[in-house]
Amino acid sequence: MQSNVFTAVLMPLALAVIMLGLGLTLTLADFKRVIVYPRAILVGLGSQMLVLPVACLLIAHAFRLPPELAVGLMLLAASPGGATANLFSHLARGDVALNITLTAVNSALSLVTLPLIINLSLAHFMDEGRAVPMQFAKIVQVVLIVLGPVSLGMFIRSRSAAVAQRMDKPIRILSTLFLVAVIAASVYTERANALSFFRQVGPAALAFNLVSLGVGYFVPILLRLPRRQAVAIGMEIGIHNGMLAIAIALSPTLLANSTMAIPPAIYSLIMYFTAAAFGFYVSRRYADEQDPAVHRTPTSLPEKVSR
């Protein structure tokens, strides 16, 4: 996509608005909660940052994606979970507090992991044999565009939760409008190849989505974490922040490549259907499992508590 007023102004603004909206939903308590869920946090972050990039790499090769589409899919693997994961986790009887904490910690760590995975992906798929060094200027740009608005949103929430709550809906709507405009412009730019791209990357995006949900759910189960935490981690890992990935792909100061935005856009459409099906499955199959924090009756309390 050529650098013009649209991409030079709208894209950084869209990314800043998205990250401001994320900041409005976070508090310092979300980060402090790591102490409460240390094992679940480690399992979730390990699955997100170690297992998924490897799985995504294998899927990109298995489906023989063209280099730019492969990098776009890898960009998804590097992106943190989206806020929508909280809603799906709640509907599927997952541990929503764990979702919020994972989103907070993963968003902070993505300041390092995003540039790292993007550069390694560019080196591997688009210029094999030559390592692309970490570019300090791009890291600074990511920090300014991402961390600045997030910090501002958290500051507003710390000062007035009511103001943050009132701002949340308009910010979400504005973010959606920005991204719809950007995606429409991207599709228009690549209109000659749009159908071909969908045929090429659609199956790979679906496979990666199913793997993300599967890894997020079954790895915690195998490690004997509570099922509610497994559901939360599954949703957190399966529902990537597609808007962030698209914004980074199209931003003229970052990747500035409309083709790389295609996989996140297609994934964002697919993930809501698969996440809904996954949530319906786990909530129905394990409907008889009760949350002890919610369903505990007085007769189930230990004697020393009732004294």
Mean pLDDT of 106-133: 72
What the chain holds in terms of domains, given with CATH numbers, is 5-283 (1.20.1530.20)
Q: What is the DSSP string of 43-107?
A: HHHHIIIIIHHHHHHHHHHHTT--HHHHHHHHHHHHSPBPTHHHHHHHHTT--HHHHHHHHHHHH
- pTM here is 0.67
Whether the per-residue pLDDT at 16 is higher than 60: the answer is yes
Burial of 41: CB neighbours in 10 Å, binned 0-12, 13-18, 19+:
buried
Nearest to 88 by CA among 216, 234, 270: 234
Whether the per-residue pLDDT at 292 is higher than 50: the answer is no
Task: Work out the mean pLDDT of the chain and round it to a whole number.
Answer: 75
Mean pLDDT of 102-109: 78
Convert the pLDDT of each residue in 205-254 to its tens digit.
Answer: 999 999 999 999 999 999 988 888 899 899 888 888 777 788 778 776 67
Q: How far is CA 89 from CA 37, 56, 97, 108, 242, in A?
A: 16, 23, 10, 21, 17
Whether the per-residue pLDDT at 294 is higher than 70: the answer is no
Q: How far is CA 59 from CA 162, 179, 244, in A?
A: 44, 26, 21
Spatial separation of the C-alpha atoms in residues 163 and 167, rounded to whole Å: 6
Mean pLDDT of 18-35: 71
**pLDDT value for 143:** 56
| Cβ atoms 19, 150 nearer than 8 A | yes
